Amino acid sequence: MDPSGFDDRTHALDAAHRLATEFLETLDDRPVWPRASLDEMLDAFGGQLPEDGTNPAAVIEEIAERAEPGLVAIPGGRFFGFVIGATHPAALAADWLVSAWDQNSGSSTLTPATVAMERIAGQWMLELFGLPATASVGFVTGGQLANFTCLSTARVAVLGRAGWDLAERGLRGAPPMRFVVGADRHGSIDRAARFLGIGRSELTVVESDDQGRMRADALEQALLGGDGPTIVCLQAGEVHTGAFDDFGTLIPIAKRHGAWVHVDGAFGLWAAASDSLRPLTLGMEQADSWATDAHKTLNVPYDCGMAIVRDPADSIAAFRTGGDYLIYSGLDPWDVTPELSRRARGVPVWAAMRSLGRSGIAALIDRLHENAVAMATGLASIDEIEILNDVDYTQVMFRAGTDAATRALGEAILRDGTAAVTGAEWRGRASLRCSMSSWATTPDDIERTIGAFRRLVVS
């Protein structure tokens, strides 16, 4: 091994580049779902820690060889599971730079280059979404932490408005807080509430319509007769149907009752970047906080979520640490999220947005919707398949007759390997979900997937 380590580093990076390129070049032909189980992967990577070291390039070769059967073709065009995007070329390459630079991006004084790119990326997003230009944008790991960050900020703010200083006095004895959610909210909202000390029995759950949109009359009724600190959680993009709450109606109702309004828009906020889909988001700019992901709709690498808060002073009240050895320069990244040390996850966002431009981002969003419509149309042409949702955005939900047949079809498509579609339950019935999130999906990918379902549904 090279005593200085420099040759080892170069050879390891060369190996990583070659092996990563080989992986990406095989995406069109490889099975989309992994061929190996977790136990098999544990066996492949397990054993005792070796006594002696190994050349770094050889370690990289070993990783790639052993991992091969356990990898998922997420960056390809036929991964439709959960809500996971592929990786845009500029974002992927920028992420490699982020690892090489190794910048601790909590401080604008310590790492001004990466913080500047994150700040500009945040400004570009606010403009695309039609949100206040002065809002804070914190880069976190994903939608879960974005919701948690926004709701943590909301808790401090609504208690503060009620005269309770949470940072000074804690929660014991604090005024009771109402936490209002939709019946078809994403599970990350409940999980964030749990992190904040709010249990399931304390949630005020508001009824939704057949597509999962919160009902305005039900929200009005839920808020009547109550007072005190209140947080209302709305949704841009229901994870099964893709439906959007009616922000223009719901937010004024919540505001009349003095509530903080949060919008969970992990993949839905990006609809605002499209002229044709922007009506889905009308009125959401009236909210107080918004959560979204870039590794979903914008197609940057994991991990990258954004927590957006209307008033940066509320973010600072919740998160500024105040360590005497830290250097502050205006609004620092560590002022608006729970993290101090972290990688520069906003740099790939800047790269993707710079590469695509405003028109390219709009075209990407439009194409995802068009792909969803094409998939739904093709699936609906199969006699045994029923489409369950209005395909207003990027989600297609369907079933194949009985619950048993639907689950069997979901298992079959994963075994087949042509595409990845994941299962769910909607209104008490088994369903399958196809999420259009990848820039790499082509008409041929859609046709191949429809053909696989046509073949499997009758076999």
Supply the DSSP symbol for 86. Answer: -
Continuous H helices in 302-441: 312-319, 347-380, 403-416
pLDDT tens digits, 139-167: 999 999 999 999 999 999 999 999 999 99
pLDDT tens digits for range 233-247: 999 999 999 999 999
Pairwise CA distance, residues 167 & 151, whole Å: 15
The per-residue pLDDT for 1 is 53
The pLDDT assigned to 328 comes to 72
State yes or no: pLDDT of 286 exceeds 70. yes
HSE-up (13 A, CA, CB side) for residue 116: 5
| Angle of CA points 85, 285, 305, to nearest 5° | 30
| CB of 200 closer than 8 Å to CB of 183 | no
CA distance 414 to 33: 6
Give the pLDDT confidence score for residue 324 in this predicted structure: 73
Joined tokens for residue 383: 């006699």
pLDDT of 197 reads: 94
How would DSSP label each residue in 425-441? EETTEEEEEEE---TT-
Two structure tokens written together for 34: 């992994």
User: Would you say 306 and 146 are in contact if contact means Cβ atoms under 8 Å apart?
Assistant: yes
The greatest distance separating any two alpha carbons of the chain, rounded to the nearest whole angstrom, comes to 73
Nearest to 75 by CA among 27, 116, 123: 27
What pLDDT score was predicted for residue 321? 82
Read off the pLDDT of each residue in 118-140 and give the average, rounded to a whole number. Answer: 98
Q: What is the mean pLDDT of residues 407-415?
A: 97
Whole-number percent of the chain with pLDDT over 70: 99
Instruction: Give whole-number Cα distances, 271 to 61, 150, 234, in Å.
Output: 41, 20, 15
pLDDT of residue 2: 60
The torsion angle over the Cα atoms of residues 418, 423, 429 and 435, rounded to 10 degrees, is -80
* Model pLDDT for residues 296-348, shown as the tens digit of each residue: 999 999 999 999 999 999 999 999 987 777 777 778 999 999 999 999 999 99
Using an 8 Å Cβ cutoff, are 303 and 142 in contact? yes
Number of other CB atoms surrounding residue 161 within 10 Å? 11
Q: What is the pLDDT of residue 7?
A: 87
Q: Across the strands, what pairs with 399? A: 386
Alpha-carbon gap, residue 95 to 101, rounded angstroms: 10
What is the pLDDT confidence band of residue 281, given thresholds at 50, 70 and 90? Answer: very high
pLDDT range class, residue 5, cuts 50, 70, 90: low
pLDDT in tens, 182-234: 999 999 999 999 999 999 999 999 999 999 999 999 999 999 988 899 999 99
For the stretch 50-69, pLDDT in tens is 999 999 999 999 999 999 99
For residue 4, the model assigns a pLDDT of 60
Residue 3's pLDDT is 59
Amino acid at the residue 112: P
pLDDT at 279: 98
pLDDT at 18 over 70: yes
Q: What is the mean pLDDT of residues 434-445?
A: 98
350-357: average pLDDT: 98
Instruction: For residue 151, give the nearest of 96, 193, 184, 100 by alpha carbon.
Output: 193
Least-confidence region, from 76-80, 242-246, 254-258, 329-333 = 329-333
End-to-end CA distance of the chain: 56
Q: Are 439 and 365 in contact (CB under 8 A)?
A: no
**How many residues does the structure list for the chain?**
459
Instruction: Give dist(CA 394, CA 237) in Å, integer.
Output: 9
**Average pLDDT value for the chain:** 96
Full-model pTM: 0.96
Per-residue confidence (pLDDT) for residue 459, from 0 to 100: 65
- Structure confidence at residue 440 as a pLDDT band (50, 70, 90): very high
